[in-house]
Amino acid sequence: MKLFDSFSSTKKSLKSNKKNTRIFLCGPTIYDYCHIGHARVFDSSLYCRTSDHVEIIIDLIKRLLSEKKAYSINGNIYLDVSKLQYFGRLTHLKKDEMMEMRYDMDINKRDPRDMILWNTTDYFGLTYNDKILGNGIPTFHVQDTAVAMYHFNGIYEIQGGGKDLLYPHHEVQMALLQTLTRRKQPVSHWIHIGLILVKGKKMAKSYSNAVYIRDILNKFDANVLRIWLLSHHYRQSIEFKMKNLEKPQKTNEILEAALFDFDPKQQKKESGGMDSRFVRKFKSYLANDLDTPHALGLLVEIAKDVDRIDDTKIMAEILGLKY
């Protein structure tokens, strides 16, 4: 399988020495219900809470301070990007471009690009106390890094998230992982997913334009939403309109009708466990940077052939469609 890697800007073969591919996904902010943009990421087998990793976060920040990769100003602790050899390589941004994208405004920072790791200035309803760092809260850059260090030792196959996380979040996270693991590429693939847009603007709860998953599911089958998302390549941003679910609904009806009388026992008996040429073609699409639009198109075509019901079921299951 080849997947597009943001760091190298190329499709790269996904290789793993482990039995399972290790994937880290940045989770959504959870102060409200999930919107359909959140439905575009992969399912997770483990959900990690930052509050369970605070001691690890504090230890990592202290390590960065001791190695002079971070510094303290007015109680806040910042990552010193001048000490980072590859900072900017993930997003391919030049120094002046990053300077224009101002974050963590503080006139006392050594460099406008320096990112806050430990915040003692702002109050978010919760603080953690440490004798050295003071009363504060870790920012999400170091939160995710600590979780990755704890569960994967900072070295894994895929880091995923929306493309809006490229800078500064993933740029900072990669810099932290490089520093802590002493590796130039601790993560094999940095994968970024296109955004869901409403009238050209990113769908977000903070923009008050969110369309919630639960509201969609009150009107449509879950497969309809999945089919709509799968009909676009994952790196493509999509404009959402409710009427755009009409075609996926018809597609869902075709698949539902094709699989209504499916007998899994008969499938096993007839196929002998071997993939047909259609299933192999289907898998080849997915192996090419998760080309779900072509894979879905083949599925719909095969579903119209009553003699290929076993292939239809296999393909539908791979795409997460449940009938």
| DSSP codes of every residue in 94-145 | -HHHHHHS--S--TT-SSTT-EEEEESSS--S--B--TTT-SBEE-HHHHHH
Those residues whose C-beta lies under 8 Å from the C-beta of residue 1, and which sit 6 or more positions away, are 13, 14, 286, 287
What's the token pair of residue 226?
């999945």
Confidence category of residue 262, pLDDT binned at 50, 70, 90: low
83 plus 156 within the same structural domain = yes
Residue 191 pLDDT greater than 80, yes or no: yes
169 plus 301 within the same structural domain = no
Asked whether residue 27 is assigned to any structural domain, the reply reads yes
Give me the pLDDT at residue 272, please: 55
Separation of alpha carbons 136 and 159, rounded Å: 27
Give me the pLDDT at residue 93, please: 93
Domain CATH number, residue 22: 3.40.50.620
Total structural domains in the chain?
A: 2
Asked whether residue 207 is assigned to any structural domain, the reply reads no
149 plus 26 within the same structural domain = yes
Asked whether residue 200 is assigned to any structural domain, the reply reads no
Range of the domain at 269: 221-234+241-318
Residue 267 pLDDT greater than 90, yes or no: no
Give me the pLDDT at residue 147, please: 96
171 plus 230 within the same structural domain = no
Query: pLDDT over 90 for what percent of the chain?
Result: 79
Give me the pLDDT at residue 20, please: 86
149 plus 16 within the same structural domain = yes
For residues 301-306, average pLDDT: 93
150 plus 259 within the same structural domain = no
Asked whether residue 205 is assigned to any structural domain, the reply reads no
Give me the pLDDT at residue 265, please: 59
Handedness of CA 185, 172, 155, 77 (dihedral sign): positive
Residue 263 pLDDT greater than 70, yes or no: no
Those residues whose C-beta lies under 8 Å from the C-beta of residue 76, and which sit 6 or more positions away, are 106, 116, 118, 119, 120, 121, 136
126 plus 259 within the same structural domain = no
pTM confidence score: 0.91
Give me the pLDDT at residue 101, please: 83
Separation of alpha carbons 124 and 115, rounded Å: 18
Give me the pLDDT at residue 79, please: 97
Asked whether residue 208 is assigned to any structural domain, the reply reads no
Residue 159 contacts residue 187 (beta carbons within 8 Å): yes
Residue 107 pLDDT greater than 90, yes or no: no
Strand partners, 179: none
- Which residue, among 37, 29, 26, 27, has the nearest Cα to 211 in the 3D structure? 37
Give me the pLDDT at residue 261, please: 65
40 plus 133 within the same structural domain = yes
Give me the pLDDT at residue 43, please: 81
Asked whether residue 209 is assigned to any structural domain, the reply reads no
189 plus 226 within the same structural domain = no
pLDDT digits (tens, 9 = 90+) for 50-98: 889 999 999 999 999 999 999 999 999 999 999 999 999 999 999 999 9
Asked whether residue 199 is assigned to any structural domain, the reply reads no
- Of residues 170 and 307, more confidently modeled: 170
139 plus 276 within the same structural domain = no
User: In a 3-state reduction of DSSP, which class is residue 166?
Assistant: helix
Give me the pLDDT at residue 274, please: 83
Separation of alpha carbons 78 and 189, rounded Å: 26
185 plus 226 within the same structural domain = no
Confidence category of residue 124, pLDDT binned at 50, 70, 90: confident
- Of residues 323 and 18, more confidently modeled: 323
pLDDT digits (tens, 9 = 90+) for 273-296: 689 999 999 999 999 999 999 999
Give me the pLDDT at residue 29, please: 74
37 plus 170 within the same structural domain = yes
The mean pLDDT value of the chain amounts to 92
Asked whether residue 57 is assigned to any structural domain, the reply reads yes
Give me the pLDDT at residue 5, please: 97
